[in-house]
Amino acid sequence: MKKMKLLIAALFAAVSFTPLSVTAQQDPIGSGLSISPTRTDLVVNEGTSADLDISVKNVTGGNIIAKAFINDFEPDGVSGEPRLITDSNVKSASSIKDFIVGLEDITLGVDETKEVKMQIDIPVGAAPGAYYGVIRYQAVPVDDQGQITEGGQVALTASVGTIVLVEVPGNIKQQIEIKSLSAYLDDKKGSLFTQKPTHIGIEIDNKGNGFARPFGKIYVKDMFGKEVLSYEMNNTNPRGVVLPESTRVFKDPVEGIGKPGRYTIYADVSYGNGGEVYSVSSTFWYVPSWLIITGLVLLLAIVGLAVFLYRKYVTKSLKRRR
Instruction: Say yes or no: 268 and 180 in one domain.
Output: yes
Instruction: Say yes or no: 154 and 231 in one domain.
Output: no
Residue 17 lies in a domain: no
- What letter does residue 89 receive in the DSSP assignment? T
Instruction: Say yes or no: 82 and 141 in one domain.
Output: yes
Domain-terminating residue out of 134, 168, 202: 168
Q: Where are the alpha helices (DSSP H) in the chain?
A: 2-24, 152-155, 289-321
- pLDDT for 196-242, tens place per residue? 999 999 999 999 999 999 999 999 999 999 999 999 999 999 999 99
Total structural domains within the chain: 3
Q: Can you tell me the distance from the alpha carbon of 134 to that of 149, in angstroms, rounded to the nearest whole number?
A: 27
**Is it the case that residue 307 has pLDDT exceeding 90?**
no
93-117: average pLDDT: 95
**Is it the case that residue 162 has pLDDT exceeding 50?**
yes
286-292: average pLDDT: 81
Domain-terminating residue out of 116, 147, 168: 168
- For residues 59 and 228, is the Cβ–Cβ distance under 8 A? no
Domain-terminating residue out of 149, 168, 187: 168
Between 148 and 97, whose confidence is greater? 97
Domain that holds residue 121: 33-168
Instruction: Say yes or no: 56 and 123 in one domain.
Output: yes
Instruction: Say yes or no: 220 and 117 in one domain.
Output: no
Contacts of 84 (CB under 8 A, 6+ apart): 71, 72, 73, 134
Q: Can you tell me the distance from the alpha carbon of 134 to that of 165, in angstroms, rounded to the nearest whole number?
A: 9
Instruction: Say yes or no: 283 and 294 in one domain.
Output: no
Spell 45-57 as b/e; 16+ CB within 10 A means b: eeeeebebebebb
Spell 79-108 as b/e; 16+ CB within 10 A means b: ebebeebeeeeeeeebbbeebbeebeebeb
- What letter does residue 202 receive in the DSSP assignment? E
Instruction: Look up the pTM and report it.
Output: 0.76
Instruction: Say yes or no: 73 and 199 in one domain.
Output: no
